[in-house]
Amino acid sequence: MATKKSSSTSRAKKSAAKKSSSKKKSTTRKYSPKAGKSVEREMKAFKQGKLKSGSGRKVTNPKQAIAIGLSEARKSGAKVPRKKSSS
């Protein structure tokens, strides 16, 4: 009988752990719609071959096009998470 009690208490602990972990998840948007539009515009220019980087060279990497779009969104004041710092 002692084993049945311990198993039922362990189930209660597991369910409590699941509830607390679900609260930690954030459901807020990380990027504003304005930022999405900016990235969309830059991707369109990239696909047409018209996107240039700051140095004036043609952009050949889609990740670079996204970075340019997010950078412009930051400058215009859109909600965009901070850049990852390289350390």
Q: Which residue has the higher pLDDT, 14 or 51?
A: 51
Give the chain's end-to-end CA distance (angstroms, integer).
56
- Res. 81 pLDDT band, cuts 50 70 90: confident
Residue 19 above 70 pLDDT?
no
The predicted pLDDT at position 83 comes to 77
CB within 8 Å of 73: residues ≥ 6 apart? 31, 32, 34, 35, 38, 39, 80
The predicted pLDDT at position 85 comes to 76
Angle at 56 between CA 55 and CA 62, to 5 degrees: 90
